[in-house]
Structure 1
């Protein structure tokens, strides 16, 4: 076997994972190969990091022990069909697509190979990812440790039962978009009040970071922390009351439910 890791797909997520592996000395660049329908993209990644480019997914699967499927859910059936002929039950598949179950991968390949189902998020690109990870029952301790390190070296990685993997997407995978929407609204309001956009963005991002630290380190639950910011007759309680009037929390939950349902649809 020539390579340890093979990446089918050379997009942003694959790039982030590969840079984490090489940058943290988990593996040498010459033990990683990549293929992509866009050969220019794969070649660019090769030139930048020093990994090898393989022209076909089938050939990549034959040469690698851990195969990362970094393609869209809609392309899984095609890719799995391409690698089916060279897969063995000793090789490990890492699936990072929304809604794709361990059983789906196995059924498409026609074998009970080890599969690690993963849901990362885009802050992984900055080494600040939050990744949910779920191994099949036959992933070895060694292989699981290697796969988990691919994501824990780029942020936080938490093991989640597969029955929760569709729902967890709304918690970590898609939630950056909700936060960006919140930031957009805050900054737009600040601009309407004549406040410099960059100043408002810096202050709000620092507030997000500090608030996250309070949630993780203070020992208080969200309701307690909300109460500590609000005071009777003050400014914050007015804002919180307005959010409650507009069903802020319920709207977030409805959005998360829509996310989960879409993940379930993608897996069918």
Structure 2
């Protein structure tokens, strides 16, 4: 089986490197195309084959990862139409692009898997939501799932939930980075060097995530565990609550989901 990639940017690179690192598939049975010769050459040096066009990848590969921006999808699919067959399996990682849009644009009822990963795939700690069309076999779905599991954790959702996942894990890292930036800058203004504060806060994020995943407690219970009556944490939380922190998060996530829906139209 040949696995192809259209696009060799950060996310595609993380997936390809994850495959190679975990030994999921041999490099010689992978083919990649990107408009950047420099990006193609990086993976050629790792043993992958390179292609001169989108249609060449689609012709030669059994499973094709479409790792391009939503804005470029129409032209990529038009090029793919030249060589696509109903046996070609596709995996799309673009926000908002539906299975129906792909099959209708291709004019081919081929199997399609939608994935919504995030950038921590780059360090093997990604979070990916997956769904599939009815045409996707259990074997192919298990293979694609194993690729994303090699780079982090996977959740299986319905397609009508994937745009919401964009606002949860897809864009979620940016929310965390903004929170970390604000905390480090506040600490710096209070006298702790920003780099030291960022290290402390980053480890706090890691530890807090582990507690959320493995302590058996709900978020509300964990908040209560940190919040001593009359203590410092409650003073900070009072500010968050008075400024509508949870409502702000909800509004931001709804805006993200709405944008994903717009990109799919």
Of residues 199-208 and 247-256 in structure 1, the stretch that sits farther from structure 2 once superposed is 199-208
Hey, what does 1:181 align to over in structure 2?
178
Determine whether 1:261 maps to 2:236: no
Hey, what does 2:144 align to over in structure 1?
147
Alignment of 1:90-239 (within 5 A): 90-239=87-236
Classify the secondary structure of the residue corresponding to 1:231. Answer: coil
Moved over 4 A (4+): none
Q: Distance in 1 between matches of 2:47 and 2:195?
A: 37
TM-score by length of 1: 0.97
* Alpha-carbon offset, residue 205 of structure 1: 0.9
Task: Provide structure 2 residue ranges, at least 5 long, that are not aligned to the other structure.
Answer: none
TM-score by length of 2: 0.98
Determine whether 1:87 maps to 2:84: yes
What do residues 118-169 of structure 1 show as CA deviations (whole Å, max 9, x unaligned)? 0000000000000000011110111111111110100001111101010111
What do residues 19-39 of structure 1 show as CA deviations (whole Å, max 9, x unaligned)? 111111111111111111112
What do residues 59-109 of structure 1 show as CA deviations (whole Å, max 9, x unaligned)? 110000000000000111100110112111111100000000011100001
* Alpha-carbon offset, residue 42 of structure 1: 1.1
Classify the secondary structure of the residue corresponding to 2:153. Answer: strand
Hey, what does 2:18 align to over in structure 1?
20
How many residue pairs get aligned? The number is 265
Hey, what does 2:27 align to over in structure 1?
29
For the aligned residue pairs, the C-alpha RMSD in angstroms reads 0.9
* Alpha-carbon offset, residue 178 of structure 1: 0.3
Of residues 166-175 and 219-228 in structure 1, the stretch that sits farther from structure 2 once superposed is 219-228
